[in-house]
Amino acid sequence: MATIDLIITRTTVITMEGKGLGIIEDGAVGIDGNRIVIVDDSDVVEREYSSHRTIDASHKVVLPGLIDAHIHSGLGILRGVAQDTDNWMEKGLWPFMQFLTDDQRRAGSLVNIIEGLKAGTTTFGDYNGGMNDIVQNHIALGTRAHVCDMINEMPERMGDAREVGELYPLDSAVGEKKLQENIDLIENYHGSENGRITCLFGPQGPDMMSRELLLEVQQLAKKFDTSIHMHVAQGDREIEQMMKRYGKRSIPYLEEIGYLDERLLAVHLTEATAEEAKTVARSGAAMLLCSGSIGIIDGIVPPAAEFLEASDRLALGSDQAPGNNCINMFNEMKFTSILNKCRQRDPRVFPAWQMLKSVTINAAHAIGLGEDIGSLKPGKKADMIILDLQSPALFPTIQAPIRNIVPNLVYSANGSEVETVIIDGQVIVDEKIVQTVDEGKALADGQKHANELASQVRGVDTPLAKMMADGLL
């Protein structure tokens, strides 16, 4: 009998393998080092292996760690400052962004990542300026991070003396500086931490940079053999900018310059037409869908259904705290399913099993990590979570004649049911307590930085400031 590091046994295991979800009712998972060595019936695993630690997961469910394919953790400190307004970026976010310091960005990021981690997210598609600094949070916490720096040619103080809809001034010197920061990130961190940190390029959007810089990024992505993570058709603001500058909408423009291919992770597609969404899907590009954020910011349900007609490279993301307000993939699964059911007036679309795949195995394939994560299979990285089925929100547990666990995970769970989070074979959250950093200290430090930022923004005219003056906040 071989001895391995950890066995999780006597539990419902959702492997995400095979045509369905690969559910084992009385299953076990064996882990050695950072890899899964066996997934089978409990009796089989316990007969073939002993372990240094065993977790009896009776009345619990084990599934692959959740993947948040698109998050701006560096905006975590701005949660709740830009809601319920039109022109969210210009009116809500930019008045705060112009005062945001690197220390504040990193402090808010740490708390944001902890929030997602405790709700079962093991992989974060983090997309921020200053990522060479923010990535230290992922290293410290032990999270799996698929990261890029945000590249654009936008002047720093975009909130100053600008009318909404005015054409952005682009500065090539800013773009080259940010591009170099992204290159530094890749050269310094890609494949580091035993492969937990992977890097790609992050142009902010086709409206925020010149054609020349976009094409330079594309060539570098080929050189480094990595992907391109970019907002595409991100609201009417982007489309208006593209029409003014190029006379074309975003997706036809990107198709014209040869940007639509399997390297592209196209975020949002908020303003994409049905045919444009299919064009992106047919090109081999992935769609990163942030339903909660786009619903709150724009009141729009992006054309994910149309995308799925041609491709299954769809992954969900939480986006950012000042838009979506929560970094929680259970929230995203439920939001995505309900909004699309309403959009199509069909309760059968976007079913629970499909939503669970869109934050696990399908998400892993969409972002290029499907060989390593996204399902529970021998040889894959040991990223998984354990949830308590005896939590009130998951009551009752029924296995037959109808198994209700998957619908309850998608429509009832809120993330607080997560007890254990394992990443790369390491127990990062144990009995709901983060093991790698001091959560209380992170919150206290983040609040101190938030107070400092708030003191800088006093007197700035924003829609929420007017609501507060009217006694509505």
Asked whether residue 164 carries a pLDDT value surpassing 90, the answer given is: no
**Backbone angles phi and psi of 27, in degrees to 5:** -110, 175
Q: Is residue 284 part of a domain?
A: yes
Same-domain status, 58 and 136: no
14 assigned to some structural domain: yes
Positive or negative, the Cα torsion across 226, 289, 292, 381?
negative
- Domain range for residue 116? 66-366
Task: Specify if 283 maps to a domain.
Answer: yes
Q: Is there a domain that residue 193 lies in?
A: yes
What CATH number does residue 410 fall under? 2.30.40.10
pTM for this entry: 0.96
Which parts of 397-467 are beta strand (E)?
A: 418-423, 426-430, 433-434
Residues 357 and 385 in one domain: no
Residue 436 has which token pair? 């790698």
Residues 101 and 60 in one domain: no
Residue 229: inside a domain = yes
310 and 272 in one domain? Answer: yes
Q: Find how far residue 98's CA is from the centre of its chain.
A: 24
Report pLDDT digits (tens) over 296-323. 999 999 999 999 999 999 999 999 998 8
Q: Are residues 203 and 297 in the same domain?
A: yes
Are 24 and 89 part of one and the same domain? no
431/191 Cα distance (integer angstroms): 30
pLDDT at position 83, please? 86
Residue 162 binned pLDDT confidence (cut-offs 50, 70, 90): low
Using an 8 Å Cβ cutoff, are 67 and 20 in contact?
no
| DSSP type of residue 160 | S
* 25 assigned to some structural domain: yes
| pLDDT tier at 159, thresholds 50, 70, 90 | low
pLDDT digits (tens, 9 = 90+) for 366-415: 999 999 999 999 999 999 999 999 999 999 999 999 999 999 999 999 99
| Same-domain pairing of 188 and 77 | yes
Residue 473 within any structural domain of the chain? no
175 with 208, same domain: the answer is: yes
Which residues are bridge partners to 199 per DSSP?
147
Residue 98: per-residue pLDDT: 85
| pLDDT band for position 161 (cuts 50, 70, 90) | very low
Residues 73 and 121 placed together within one structural domain of the fold:
yes
- Is residue 336 within 8 A of residue 350, CB to CB? The reply is yes
Q: Is the pLDDT of residue 65 over 90?
A: yes
CB-side neighbour CA atoms (13 Å) of 118 = 16
Nearest in space to 148 (alpha carbons), one of 105, 115, 178, 170: 178
Q: Give the Cα separation of 252 and 257 in Å (integer).
A: 9
pLDDT of residue 469: 84
| Residue 133 shares a structural domain with residue 57 | no
User: Are residues 44 and 70 part of one domain?
Assistant: no
Collect all residues with Cβ–Cβ distance below 8 Å to 438 and sequence separation of at least 6: none
Mean pLDDT computed over every residue of the chain: 95
Tell me the three state secondary structure of residue 72: coil
Domain count, the chain: 2
Residue 381 contacts by C-beta under 8 Å, 6 or more apart in sequence?
34, 35, 36, 144, 195, 372, 373, 424, 425
344 and 404 both lie in a single domain? no
**Last residue of one domain, picked from the residues 308, 342, 366:** 366
